[in-house]
Amino acid sequence: MDAITVVTGGAGFIGSHLVDQLVGQGERVRVVERPGAGTSHLPALVEVARADIRDRVALTRAMRGAGRVYHLAANPNLWVRRRSEFEAVNYRGTVNVLDAALEAGAERVLHTSTESILTCARQTGPIAEDIDVTLDDAVGPYCRSKLLAEQEAMQRARAGQSIVIANPTMPVGPGDRGLSPPTRLIRDFCRGRLPALMDCTLNLIDVRDVAMGLIRTMQRGEPGRRYLLGGENLTLVGLLTILSELSGARVPKWRVPFPLGLAIAYLSEFWADHVSGRPPKATVTGVRLTRRTMHFDPSRSLAALDLSPRPVRESLADAVAWLQAAGQLAERETTQGPSAVPISASPSHDGLSGNA
């Protein structure tokens, strides 16, 4: 019997596109998703194994027969009420996945990292895949947990284990059922819910091109190096200008100064931590990342993988059309909501699938 390709977090934004492409290439796919996660949108031929990546016993069962393992599962948010959850899921969960996959005899494992850990205060020019970063460079507990996870994967790869690493930038496009931060930004802008903004630089790539990039990294990647999966660099104003042309929504004229934005974020997180328990309107990590260089140069990685991402305008048009069809843009807001600072950093990634 042929070995199974396992995808952790395969029901998430990137994961579901990856699974579609793997099935289209004739691979037998098993998706590992946390108990309770929706999987009805996955292809009928896909096997689903329920396991929280913090549960080593459940993961060991889920990895049986694995040939190749794509590890995408993570908590992609920039805030959780219990900050220790980031390390438990994103770092220790990654250790569990790597251990379980290799003990099951997997021939190769791909660890999906993120672009937000590649920023550092001293960086002024475009960021490439070979940048050297340390834990002191990490902005907030989310980025720290993702950097710890990547360091674990890199250390094992350099010790001879068959592990490859890919760092997608911000994925956009259709099919984001969980509404990752970039998709929430698109939705809120198109609904008139962004009265103001903090400008910054973003790198956007189509989620379908990320999925293909992960497959190419699995096939061609060299253990011990990163592969940066990036597309176009845009300012936030540039992004909203394209969305304005696609949707008719107006680009906000008010720019929030960084000190004010940071104060709003601290107040928002305090309210979320101690009163509402719901995600804050702005996060401290997100605002702090607006001060970092987020301009990326993925050219060497794209050349090594023979990957040519499509124009981001096409991706944004598909994202808006999908949100419209999903009923997310049914009503244009006539009053401005309380979200004064759009959170523009991290797809958080990863834009993956929570496994908390």
Per-residue confidence at 330, pLDDT binned at 50, 70, 90? Answer: confident
Distance (Å, rounded) from C-alpha 340 to C-alpha 194?
A: 6
CA distance 221 to 213: 10
pLDDT in tens, 203-261: 999 999 999 999 999 999 999 999 999 999 999 999 999 999 999 999 999 999 999 99
Give the other-Cβ count within 10 Å of 338's Cβ.
Answer: 10
pLDDT reported for residue 124: 77
Closest CA to 72 of 153, 131, 129: 153
Residue 132's contacts (CB-CB under 8 Å, 6 or more residues apart) are none
Please give the Cα distance from 225 to 337 (Å, whole number): 44
Cα-Cα-Cα-Cα torsion 307, 42, 219, 222, nearest 10 degrees, comes to: 90
pLDDT classification of 349: cutoffs 50, 70, 90: very low
**Predicted confidence (pLDDT) per residue in 126-138, tens digit:** 999 999 999 999 9
Q: pLDDT of 53-66, one tens digit each?
A: 999 999 999 999 99
CA distance 153 to 161: 9
Residue 199 binned pLDDT confidence (cut-offs 50, 70, 90) = confident
pLDDT in tens, 267-317: 999 999 999 999 998 899 999 999 888 899 999 999 999 999 999 999 999
| HSE-up (13 A, CA, CB side) for residue 22 | 32
Q: What is the pLDDT of residues 98-119, one digit of tens each?
A: 999 999 999 999 999 999 999 9
| Domains, the chain | 4-173+206-230 (3.40.50.720)
Weakest mean pLDDT among 69-73, 74-78, 209-213: 74-78
Query: 259: Cβ–Cβ under 8 A, 6 or more apart, which residues?
Result: none
Whether the per-residue pLDDT at 342 is higher than 80: the answer is no
For the chain, give the mean pLDDT: 91
